[in-house]
């Protein structure tokens, strides 16, 4: 099938808008993707649409064209809103289009914390300048800014902005509790936040602003994706985690993370080899060859047991890694000297 074999691309986009009939939009979207032989994931809700799809270059450019001419998105979505990277239909196992309550799963009713209350959007250039300023002030120990990564720990582990605060959380739905538990940390701070493509910041910044403790909240428009297009060798180091079978895309050669077993520099994820577990693991080729292919010793042992047991029983997706990590980490706030500038 020639359409699949050529190098295609993967698109990432979102659009907040009022959707009167999500079911209808969902059916249309599914038919469109099937027609263009696109695979991927699309979330539809009354608050908009969020998707990542892969296919041939011909198919993805047609997709963009159709999306831009869809009356619902007409004056909101533009060409710039589609982030693209090399890939294709093979980057996803299948096509999933569904209706959800939120287009990004933060777990807070959009009626309570709306994307309409977001922080101030900064272009990649503006964000770059802000980070530059932040890093130079921080090196002199006098910054009132927090550079906040609002992604999950396994994403920030393999790539992040220098000097960032990256919460050790497993899901974006833990982000609100992270903010609640660490309000003291954000008090009177300027917060620069970023995520993969910009969408988590839309809700995350709105949530942080709703707490009314920060001085200002800024967010990177278009996310790391757009930043790397302009600054492939800027302040973002390491790989960019993506939610498809590629796991990561690369813009610089830095390796920031290590093999879980031997500590050698390594940043290529594989799924834990234990059947019941869906966690990602960093294990280098030589450790893999030794059979160290699970995310932790508990899983490694379970795997051996499972193989020798009648396949009737399923084990719960819970292991040492998950149990040892606090669901929501509490950051240590050093006692600041009273602010002389006040």
Last residue of one domain, picked from the residues 230, 248, 266:
248
Query: Is residue 287 located within the same domain as residue 229?
Result: no
Higher pLDDT, 197 or 251: 197
pLDDT at 217 over 60: yes
Give how far the C-alpha of residue 199 lies from the chain's centroid of Cα atoms, to the nearest Å.
9
Residue 71, pLDDT above cutoff 60: yes
CB 327 within 8 Å of CB 174: yes
CATH of the domain at 49: 3.30.70.100
Last residue of a domain, one of 248, 266, 284: 248
325 in a structural domain: no
Q: Which domain holds residue 131?
A: 120-248
- Is 317 a domain residue? no
pLDDT at 4: 44
What is the pLDDT, as a whole number, of residue 6?
60
Mean pLDDT of all residues belonging to the chain? 90
**Mean pLDDT on 142-167:** 96
Q: How far is CA 243 from each of CA 120, 155, 180, rounded to the nearest angstrom?
A: 26, 10, 27
Q: What integer pLDDT is reported at residue 302 of this predicted model?
A: 73
**Pair (177, 290) in one structural domain:** no
> In terms of domains, do 126 and 239 share one?
yes
Confidence of residue 318 (pLDDT cuts 50, 70, 90): low
**Any domain includes 112:** no
Task: Judge whether residue 3 has pLDDT over 70.
Answer: no
Question: Domain holding 124: CATH number?
Answer: 3.40.250.10
**Residue 317: what pLDDT?**
56
Please say if the pLDDT value at position 339 is more than 70. Answer: no
How sure is the predictor about 316, in pLDDT bands with cuts at 50, 70 and 90?
low
Domain-embedded: residue 331? no
Q: Pick the most confident of 28-42, 104-118, 248-262, 279-293.
A: 28-42
pLDDT at position 308: 53
Q: What is the mean pLDDT of residues 240-265?
A: 94
User: What are the catalytic residues?
Assistant: 195
* Within-domain flag for 150: yes
Residue 105: inside a domain: no
Residues 43 and 142 reside in one and the same domain: no
Q: In total, how many domains does the chain have?
A: 3
Give the residue-averaged pLDDT of 54-65: 98
């Amino acid at each position: 099938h020639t359409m699949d074999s050529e190098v295609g691309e993967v698109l990432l986009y979102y659009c907040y808008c009022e959707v009167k009939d999500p079911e209808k939009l969902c059916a249309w979207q599914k038919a469109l993707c099937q027609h263009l032989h696109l695979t991927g994931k699309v979330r539809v809700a009354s608050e908009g649409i969020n998707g990542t799809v892969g296919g041939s270059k011909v198919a993805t450019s047609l997709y963009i064209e159709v999306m831009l001419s869809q009356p619902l998105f007409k004056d909101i979505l533009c060409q710039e809103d589609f982030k693209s990277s090399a890939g294709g239909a093979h980057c996803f196992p299948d096509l999933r289009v569904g209706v959800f309550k939120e287009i990004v799963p933060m777990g807070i009713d959009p009626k309570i914390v709306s994307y309409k209350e977001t922080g101030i959007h900064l272009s990649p250039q503006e964000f770059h300048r802000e980070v530059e300023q932040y890093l130079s002030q921080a090196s002199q120990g006098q910054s009132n800014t927090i550079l906040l990564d609002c992604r999950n720990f396994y994403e920030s582990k393999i790539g992040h902005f220098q000097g960032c605060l990256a919460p050790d959380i497993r899901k974006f739905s833990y982000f609100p509790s992270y903010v609640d538990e660490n309000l003291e940390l954000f008090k009177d701070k300027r917060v620069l936040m970023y995520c993969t493509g910009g969408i988590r910041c839309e809700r995350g910044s709105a949530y942080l602003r709703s707490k009314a403790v920060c001085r200002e909240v800024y967010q990177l428009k278009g996310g790391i994706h757009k930043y790397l297009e302009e600054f492939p060798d800027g302040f973002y180091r390491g790989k960019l985690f993506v939610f498809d079978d590629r796991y990561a895309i690369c813009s610089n050669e830095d390796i920031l993370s290590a093999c879980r077993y031997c500590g050698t520099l390594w940043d290529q994820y594989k799924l834990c080899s234990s059947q019941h577990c869906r966690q990602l693991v960093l294990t280098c080729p030589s450790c893999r060859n030794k059979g160290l292919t699970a995310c932790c010793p508990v899983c490694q042992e379970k795997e051996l047991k499972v193989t020798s047991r009648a396949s009737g029983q399923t084990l719960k997706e819970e292991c040492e890694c998950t149990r040892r990590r606090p669901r929501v980490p509490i950051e240590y706030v050093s006692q600041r000297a009273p602010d002389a500038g006040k």
